[in-house]
Amino acid sequence: MNITRRNVLLGATAAAAFAPLTSRAQTAEVVIGVIYPLSGASAQIGVDAQKAFETAADLINKNYDFGLPLAKGEGLPGLGGAKIRLVFADHQADPQKGRAEAERLITQEKVCAVIGTYQSSVAVTVSQICERYQIPFLSADNSSPSLHRRGLKFYFRAAPHDEMFSTAMFDFFDAMKKKGTKIETLALFHEDTIFGTDSSNAQLKLAKERGYKVVSDIKYRANSPSLTAEVQQLKAANADVLMPSSYTTDGILLVKTMAELGYKPNAIVAQDAGFSEKALYDAVGDKLEGVISRGSFSLDLAAKRPMVGKINDMFKERSGKDFNDYSSRQFMGLIVMADAINRAKSTDGDKIREALVATDMPGDVTIMPWKRVKFDETGQNNDADPVLLQYVGGKFVTIFPTQAAVAEASWPMK
């Protein structure tokens, strides 16, 4: 076929005629990819995450009277009232599946941003794909500290990471020691993916800096069929505090094995994960009265900020559960991303990235006990203040830091 100047001009005219239509079609809805484990051992996490993201999308797309970004009015005003549409993908807790699903969301579903992923090991591959396509990735609930230190330009995390969480634990230990509690020795127990190993490294470093002795540092295989040998080692070490970094199924097996072998530590201070999950407490909650877990959310905040309770009720209506450390961070992940897309007035990756960089959201317009959401040059929010929660009488109460606490810590565990 001969390409004449006339054909080129005709083509250009046709393209110009279609341009307004496509841009209008694009902004009728804003498509965001959400990637979680929706099948396999962590499926319940994914199911709850879906409900958290749907609750956030509902708040953005409809009109609500809350002091939360984008709650008032319908849709994204910066894009002419465009509605958020979520496309969910299942990574099955497999980093390579995560990589493939992220690619599919970007190339086939045409998402303008991606949010995920629960497992930090999956966040590694998903964020690399997003970087390659220059699509913003928001790490809603991944806590591995190494994630924001890889020089990625399109990676953002509004929530704390495990160095921040572990620092809160050691601040708490120091405060308890000042009150006369004996805390000298620690036992670390962690699974062997990036979550567990990064958590252990942070805790080893802090223990050394603060003068605590780590008498046992046990790394075990994730989804292990037996933890008998490991629990025997923990029992023999008999540390003042057991510090597990385990997902739900491993956490349940750990607690059951401890009961079988008659190992009862003075205190368990957990790196969240399985120890914030309803499934774990349904299975072994009777053996965990007084367990302490770090977190980034506290339902106690509803007393000071009634909006938190009302939004929790909306989530509970969908999921049958209260917000926990994960679902609250997932909810906020979509609010933060949608707020940036709205300010960008665009679904272009670079423009959304610039808007994320410029984010400065005061804590009191979130559902979290954070100072604010503001990203540093690595994409990390350093103002996401962690809390410590203690499981008492079937629910979690905030015990630290003092400004967020509603109860004194009960020590030792029952």
Tens digit of pLDDT per residue, the chain (414 long)? Answer: 444 444 444 444 344 444 343 333 446 899 999 999 999 989 999 999 999 999 999 999 999 999 999 999 999 999 999 999 999 999 999 999 999 999 999 999 999 999 999 999 999 999 999 999 999 999 999 999 999 999 999 999 999 999 999 999 999 999 999 999 999 999 999 999 888 999 999 999 999 999 999 999 999 998 899 999 999 999 999 999 999 999 899 999 999 999 999 999 999 999 887 898 888 999 999 999 999 999 889 898 898 899 999 999 999 999 999 999 999 999 999 999 999 999 999 999 999 999 999 999 999 999 999 999 999 999 999 999 999 999 999 889 999 998 889 899 999 987
CA distances (Å), 412 to each of 165, 271, 281, in order? 21, 18, 19
Nearest-5° Cα angle at 394, 393 to 397 = 75
In single-letter form, the type of residue at position 103 comes to E
Instruction: Look at phi and psi of residue 15 and say left if phi exceeds 0, alpha if psi is from -120 to 50, else beta.
Output: alpha
Contacts of 358 (CB under 8 A, 6+ apart): 343
SS (H, E, C) the chain: CCCCHHHHHHHHHHHHHHHHHHHHHHHHEEEEEEEECCCCCCHHHHHHHHHHHHHHHHHHHCCCCCCCCCCCCCCEHHHCCEEEEEEEEECCCCHHHHHHHHHHHHHCCCCCEEEECCCHHHHHHHHHHHHHHCCCEEECCCCCHHHHHCCCCCEEECCCCHHHHHHHHHHHHHHHHHCCCCCCEEEEEEECCHHHHHHHHHHHHHHHHHCCEEEEEEEECCCCCCCHHHHHHHHHHCCCEEEEECCHHHHHHHHHHHHHCCCCCCEEEECCHHHHCHHHHHHHHHHCCCCEEEECCCHHHHHCCHHHHHHHHHHHHHHCCCCCHHHHHHHHHHHHHHHHHHHHCCCCHHHHHHHHHCCCEEHHHCCCCCCEECECCCCEECCCCCEEEEEECCEEEEEECCCCCCCCCCCCCC
Domain with CATH 3.40.50.2300 in the chain: 11-160+302-383, 163-295+388-400
What was the pLDDT predicted at 276?
Answer: 81
Burial class (CB in 10 A: 0-12, 13-18, 19+), 103: middle
Give the pLDDT score at 298. Answer: 87
pTM: 0.85
163-295+388-400 fold = Rossmann fold (3.40.50)
**Given CA atoms 348, 151, 144, 171 in this order, what sign does their dihedral have?**
negative
Q: Would you state the pLDDT for residue 24?
A: 35
For 11-160+302-383, CATH gives 3.40.50.2300
